[in-house]
Chain A
Amino acid sequence: GAGVSQSPSNKVTEKGKDVELRCDPISGHTALYWYRQRLGQGLEFLIYFQGNSAPDKSGLPSDRFSAERTGESVSTLTIQRTQQEDSAVYLCASSLLTGRTEAFFGQGTRLTVV
């Protein structure tokens, strides 16, 4: 596609429910990142995928968070048993080669847990 696509753009869920966020990276981009951004804050790294290598999960805040990516295609970020503190914008980015080149961001998914 022309850019990084994220869906849904907005999601409201009840506390305790599971949510799945989707990211379609730019075709050919081997690196894919997930970030969380709380209102008025910076970007908090969550997880990083590079090709078929083991992902860097060091930023996942708890075991309620998980992410998958098949090869160099779509990635899904799953949050189980959502809590109100999970409310944030979740941003996905892809790049041609790790951090050595610019990253292209999707428009994010705004998650609200009520």
Chain B
Amino acid sequence: SQQGEEDPQALSIQEGENATMNCSYKTSINNLQWYRQNSGRGLVHLILIRSNEREKHSGRLRVTLDTSKKSSSLLITASRAADTASYFCATDQATGANNLFFGTGTRLTVIP
């Protein structure tokens, strides 16, 4: 079964606005990763945050991790139409299962 769930399932914003997506997971993790998917094909890695980190930045992306709440958020600032895609979180479980478990995804639409 999938480890994570993203919220909201779909998000529509105007270009220039910020977009925030949330991910909740169930078990202890080593790290959490965010991926982006265009047009239902291959996923592209965006950012990885380790369990001992609380916040990480990469360009217009900001990721936070709260291990006590088993949740993470992805913030995209100053959104662009090209940011339109589906965004997934993936967790590397600390239980020894050598796997990446993906959430259900958030479909982001940025309106020009």
Which of A48, A50, A89 has a CB less than 8 Å from the CB of B41? A89
Specify the main secondary structure of chain B where it touches its partner.
strand
Write out, one digit per residue, whether chain B residues 37-49 have a CB within 8 A of any chain A CB (1) or not (0). 0001111110010
- The yes or no answer to A25 lying at the interface (CB within 8 A) is no
Write out, one digit per residue, whether chain A residues 74-97 have a CB within 8 A of any chain B CB (1) or not (0). 000000000000000101010100
Is the pair A42, B104 in contact by a Cβ cutoff of 8 Å?
yes
Interface size of A in residues (CB-CB distance below 8 Å): 29
What residues make up the interface of B, taking CB atoms closer than 8 Å to A? 2, 30-31, 33, 35, 40-45, 48, 88, 90-93, 97-105
Q: A89-B40, A99-B99, A102-B33 are in contact. List 8 more A-B contacts (CB 8 A).
A: A31-B98, A43-B2, A43-B88, A99-B30, A99-B31, A99-B90, A99-B93, A105-B44
Stretch at the interface among A13-21, A33-41, A64-72: A33-41
What residues make up the interface of A, taking CB atoms closer than 8 Å to B? 4, 31, 33, 35, 37, 39, 41-45, 48, 50, 56, 89, 91, 93, 95, 98-108
Which of A4, A45, A105, A106 has a CB less than 8 Å from the CB of B99? A45
Residue of A nearest to B4 (CB): A42
Chain A residues within an 8 Å CB radius of B41: 89, 107-108
29 contacts between A and B (CB under 8 A): A33-B99, A33-B100, A35-B102, A37-B40, A39-B40, A41-B104, A42-B88, A42-B105, A43-B2, A43-B43, A45-B2, A45-B99, A48-B98, A48-B99, A56-B99, A89-B41, A91-B43, A93-B100, A98-B92, A98-B98, A99-B30, A99-B90, A99-B91, A99-B98, A99-B99, A100-B30, A102-B48, A103-B90, A105-B44
Residue of B nearest to A47 (CB): B99
Q: Known: A42-B105, A56-B97, A99-B100. Is A105-B88 also a contact (CB below 8 A)?
A: no
Chain A residues within an 8 Å CB radius of B93: 99
Is the pair A103, B45 in contact by a Cβ cutoff of 8 Å?
yes
Chain A residues within an 8 Å CB radius of B105: 42
Is the pair B102, A42 in contact by a Cβ cutoff of 8 Å?
yes
Give the shortest distance, in Å, between A66 (CB) and chain B (any CB). 18
